[in-house]
Structure 1
Amino acid sequence: MKYWKYSGMLLSATGIIHIIVAITQEWNIYKELFFDGLINSIGDNLQKALSFWFFIIGIILIVFGQTLQYYINKEQMPAPLFLGYSLFVFSIVGCFIVPLSGFWLFIPQALIIIFAKRKHNKLA
């Protein structure tokens, strides 16, 4: 099975998981932001700011994953090798800094990209 064909969808799925975790863990903060009118509702509250960015990172992962999937479908080839190595380094650093986190989810995704691209380059 060519897992690399699903690299973008895996990244988007990680973003969806990120949003679900954000909403379930920070529901009261999002509710408070919403009822405060959203505009300038964070102020200097660090917990609100962190909750906001936790949610936004999930959206960014979905957009990035969909962009990657578009590339894969259009080019019919794995993602560029630098993306796999960048994602791998990013995830390893993240795992060291925050061991109990979702950074571990990026490691298999990065390895899929790296090994698929290496194999694809050998066949070409």
Structure 2
Amino acid sequence: MSSSPSFPSSSSSPSESSHRPSAVPYRSSRWPARFLVWTGVGHNIVGFLIPAVRQPFVDALKGGYINQLGTSISRRHSFWFFMAGVNLVLLGKLVDWYLFPEQVDGHRKIKDDSSVRAHSDKGEVRSERKLPRELGVWFLGIAIGGATAIPKSGFYLLGIQGLAILFAK
């Protein structure tokens, strides 16, 4: 009789199972949050590398920034391009805070409770919390809509994240 690898086998000794975290079908690592943060950082780096995106924003900064975006559609587009990257970074931080609420203050102290556990085998921290499937649906919807409108874009990265959330076990 085979069991899922995420559950302890029934043949484990009582002392062995008492040191092991309780088995759950899903443990989240920090990769969903970090992937969102790096997608946002990469989005803004790409924006700075493309002169048509960078230059209008630089011109707005040179013009004093205050009330400089309403004067040009290209400046507004540039501003929202960079804001999208910043929002991806903030969303990544929010996902991290949701999965690991005990570490919101930036401390790396792990509380021994039912939602966050430290695994000594690799020293990595995993959360027993799972991201809401609705977030995956939204990511996938945005990715499909964006990639359909702009096939040569990074919307596929958001689609990968959406699928990973939807198919997480």
Under a length normalisation based on structure 1, what TM-score does the superposition of the two structures give? 0.85
Give SS of 2:100's match: helix
Counterpart of 1:114?
A: 166
In structure 2, list runs of 5 or more residues that go unmatched: 1-25, 102-114, 116-126
Alpha-carbon displacement from aligned partner over 1:54-107 (angstroms, at most 9, x marks no partner): 001100110011001111123422211110111111111111111111101111
Q: Which runs of structure 2 are paired with 1:85-100 in the superposition (5 Å)?
A: 85-100=137-152
Q: Which runs of structure 2 are paired with 1:61-80 in the superposition (5 Å)?
A: 61-74=88-101, 75=115, 76=127, 77-80=129-132
Q: How far does residue 112 in structure 1 lie from its aligned partner after superposition?
A: 1.2
Give SS of 2:167's match: helix
Counterpart of 2:7?
A: none
Counterpart of 2:36?
A: 11
Contact residue 27 and residue 130 of structure 2 kept, 8 A: no
Under a length normalisation based on structure 2, what TM-score does the superposition of the two structures give? 0.64
Name which one, 1 or 2, has greater alpha-carbon Rg: 2
Compute the RMSD of aligned alpha carbons.
1.7
Q: Which moved more, 1:61-70 or 1:17-26?
A: 17-26
Counterpart of 1:27?
A: 54
Identity of aligned residues (%): 30
Distance 2:162 2:33 in 1: 11
Does residue 1:38 correspond to 2:65, yes or no? yes
Distance 1:83 1:95 in 2: 18
In structure 1, list runs of 5 or more residues that go unmatched: 120-124
CA distance change for structure 1 residues 73 and 4 in 2, over 3 Å: closer, same or farther?
same
Distance 2:75 2:142 in 1: 25
Distance 2:28 2:77 in 1: 32
CA distance change for structure 1 residues 3 and 36 in 2, over 3 Å: closer, same or farther?
farther
Contact residue 23 and residue 30 of structure 1 kept, 8 A: no
Structure richer in helix, relative to its length: 1
